Structures are given as structure tokens and as C-alpha cells.
Amino acid sequence: MSTNTAYYIPHKATWPVIGTAGLMTMLAGFANYLNGSSIGPTIMIIGLVIFVIMLVGWFTLQANESESGMYNHEVGISYRHGMMWFIFSEIVFFAVFFGTLWYTRNLSVPWLGEGATKELLWPSFETTWPTNGPGKVGGDFEPMSAWGLPFLNTLILLTSGVTCTWAHHGLLAKNRDQLIKGLIATVALGFLFVTFQAIEYHDAYTEMGLTLGSGVYGSTFFMLTGFHGFHVCVGAIILSVVVFRSSKGHFKPENHFAFEAAAWYWHFVDVVWLGLFVFVYLI
């Protein structure tokens, strides 16, 4: 229950600048690594550690403030706006790669197989999909089938959406046991998904000849599924924090923004996967 009637405005923030320094160090290290510098990875890891410390510190601070009733209803609305628009920006980010897939399959690959491009540059190239292009970049490969692990993963993520909602019902009904069980199931399904995806990637690289370098098919396949897999990991970590906080007695039926944000994020990741399953695997 919020006890504060005024909008809480913090007066001194140290975590933002620490987090920024961490992220900048990490990216500078990564850039150095890409340029072939041997100290790159070390700088990158230092930056990552600073960034993780910031995440832990900042979120602990927020959780404590929330539990001590410093946030009124309006603060909660601001946080919801924040999360909603953050997810919107993520949707746009994924839309770029879906758009790339669409453009490649419907425009650029067909253009390579017709007209002057075909006659003058690559007479033997026929428009197909999947393809690694007229240059057969990355060598022969076998495309990924939708049925098998990807379909199983679809079922897993859909189920995890259900368990997440079941946990929310538990929270609203003040049934903490159901809340924690539902969340643990969701996290477990999330990590199961990532494990299966890792197996899928392993097969692709070792048995199917399908890599990130397999022309535009490999590029779009791994970019889309890879970014999605990364988001599943992030979502599962967020949900794990929510499990931890639930076990400490945090969240009340009328005040549980962190749970809601985590659940929104999880459903967003879920919906992106459905798009991937249809457009990357199925069609």
C-alpha cells in the first residue's frame, strides 16, 4: 500500500553515471576486440561487471523504495509508460530484421535472378529461398525445418505465457504459493527454450553447414533467432528477480509494477517468437 501522497522525486542518483561508464567501457572494449586488440576482451569484461553491478544496485534501490511505500499511484503510471514505450522501441528493433527478411525474399533475391543482373553477372543463378546468393557465400547448407525443435519451442513459449498469467492470478488472489510456482515454471520453460535453441544452433553449425555466414539466409536466420534468444534470456533473468522478490514477500495485489513489467516483456518475447516461427521457419 502506498503511504506517500506526493509524487516521489529522487534527489541524487549515482547509478546512472556508473551504468553509463560500464556500458561505454564494455562497448569500447568490444570495438577494440573487433579491431584485433588483445586487451579488448579484458576491457569488455570490466565494463560488463560494472554494468551488472549497476543493474543490481539500481534495481535493489528501486525495490526497497517501492516496498517502503515511497511510490504513489502516479509514480506507478510513469513506470508503466516507461515500460510500454521501451517495449515499443524493441518491437521496432525487431521490425527492422523482419523487414530485412521481407525485402530480401520478395525483392532483392528475385532481382538477382532476373533481367540484366542475371544476364551480365550471374547467368546460372535461379531465384530460390532459402539461398546463400549467387556467390554461394558460406558454402552448401541445409535449411532449418520448422517441425522438430522449433515447433517444440513454440509450444514451450506458449505454455510459459499461460504459467505467467496463472502466476499473476495467484498474485491478485493473494495466493503466494501459486505466484511463486507459476513464476518458477515460467522461468524454467524459458531456460528450456534457450537450451533447445542452443542445441538447434549446435546442429546447424556442426551438421547442417548452416552458419551466420551462410549468405543472406544464414544472416537473417541467426540475426532474428539470435536477438530473440537473447531477449528470452533477458526476460528469464528479469522473471528470476521477480521470483526472488516474491519469495521475500514483495508485491501486493494493488502494487506490483515489477511483476507486470516482467510479464509484459515476457509476452512481447512470446509474440515475437510466433512471428519468427511463421516467417523464418514455416513460410
Partner 1 sequence: MSAVVDEQGHHADDHHDHGPEKGLLRWITTTNHKDIGTLYLLFALLMFFVGGAMAMVIRAELFEPGLQFVDPAFFNSMTTMHALVMVFGAVMPAFVGLANWQIPLMIGAADMALPRMNNMSFWMLVAGVLLLASTLFMEGGAPNGGWTLYPPLVLQPITVGKALPFAIFSVHLLGISSIMGAINIIATIFNMRAPAMKMMDMPLFVWTWLITAFLLIAVMPVFAGAVTMLLTDKFFHTSFFNAAGGGDPVLYEHIFWFFGHPEVYIMILPTFGVASTIIPVFARKPLFGYASMVWATGSIAFLSFIVWAHHMFTVGMPLAGELYFMYATMIIAVPTGVKVFNWTATMWEGAMTFETPMLFSIAFVVLFTMGGFTGLMMSIAPSDFQYHDTYFIVAHFHYTLVPASIFMLMAAGYFWLPKWTGHMYNEKIGQLHFWLSAISVNILFFPQHFLGLAGMPRRIPDYAVQFADWNMISSIGGFIFGASQLLFLYIVIDTIRGGTGEKVSDEVWEDAGKHGLEWTLPSPVPYHTWSEPPLIVPTEHVLDSH
| Residue with smaller CB distance to partner 1, 163 or 201 | 201
**225 touching partner 1, by CB under 8 A:** no
Please pick, from the candidates 93, 205, 230, 244, the single residue that binds partner 1 as defined by CB under 8 A. Answer: 93
Report residue 207 CA to chain centroid gap.
Answer: 26
**132 touching partner 1, by CB under 8 A:** yes
| Residue with smaller CB distance to partner 1, 84 or 158 | 84
| Residue with smaller CB distance to partner 1, 95 or 173 | 95
Q: CA neighbours within 13 Å on the CB side: how many for 59? A: 14
User: How far is residue 119's CA from residue 124's CA, in Å, rounded to a whole number?
Assistant: 9
**211 touching partner 1, by CB under 8 A:** yes
**85 touching partner 1, by CB under 8 A:** yes
**88 touching partner 1, by CB under 8 A:** yes
The three three-digit cell numbers of residue 262, written as one number = 516482467
| Residue with smaller CB distance to partner 1, 85 or 244 | 85
**248 touching partner 1, by CB under 8 A:** no
For the chain, how big is the Rg over CA atoms in Å? 23
Please pick, from the candidates 5, 35, 38, 206, the single residue that binds partner 1 as defined by CB under 8 A. Answer: 35
CB of 180 to partner 1, least distance (A): 29
Please pick, from the candidates 42, 108, 145, 195, the single residue that binds partner 1 as defined by CB under 8 A. Answer: 108
| Residue with smaller CB distance to partner 1, 28 or 184 | 28
Please pick, from the candidates 182, 218, 229, 235, the single residue that binds partner 1 as defined by CB under 8 A. Answer: 218
Residue count (the chain): 283
**52 touching partner 1, by CB under 8 A:** no
Please pick, from the candidates 48, 55, 63, 86, the single residue that binds partner 1 as defined by CB under 8 A. Answer: 86
User: How far is residue 278's CA from residue 127's CA, in Å, rounded to a whole number?
Assistant: 21
**260 touching partner 1, by CB under 8 A:** no
**111 touching partner 1, by CB under 8 A:** yes
CB of 39 to partner 1, least distance (A): 14
The three three-digit cell numbers of residue 57, written as one number = 544496485
| Residue with smaller CB distance to partner 1, 41 or 148 | 41
**234 touching partner 1, by CB under 8 A:** no
**110 touching partner 1, by CB under 8 A:** no
What is the DSSP annotation of the chain? -----SPP--S---HHHHHHHHHHHHHHHHHHHHTT-TTHHHHHHHHHHHHHHHHHHHHHHHHHHHHTT---HHHHHHHHHHHHHHHHHHHHHHHHHHHHHHHIIIIIHHHHTSHHIIIII-TT----SS--TTTTTT----PPPSTTHHHHHHHHHHHHHHHHHHHHHHHHTT-HHHHHHHHHHHHHHHHHHHHHHHHHHHHIIIII---TTSHHHHHHHHHHHHHHHHHHHHHHHHHHHHHHHHHTT--BTTB-HHHHHHHHHHHHHHHHHHHHIIIIII-
Q: Which residues make up the interface to partner 1 (CB under 8 A)?
A: 6-7, 9-17, 19-21, 23-24, 27-28, 30-31, 34-35, 58, 74, 77-79, 81-82, 85-86, 88-90, 92-93, 95-97, 99-100, 103-104, 107-109, 111-112, 131-135, 137-138, 211-213, 215-220, 222-223
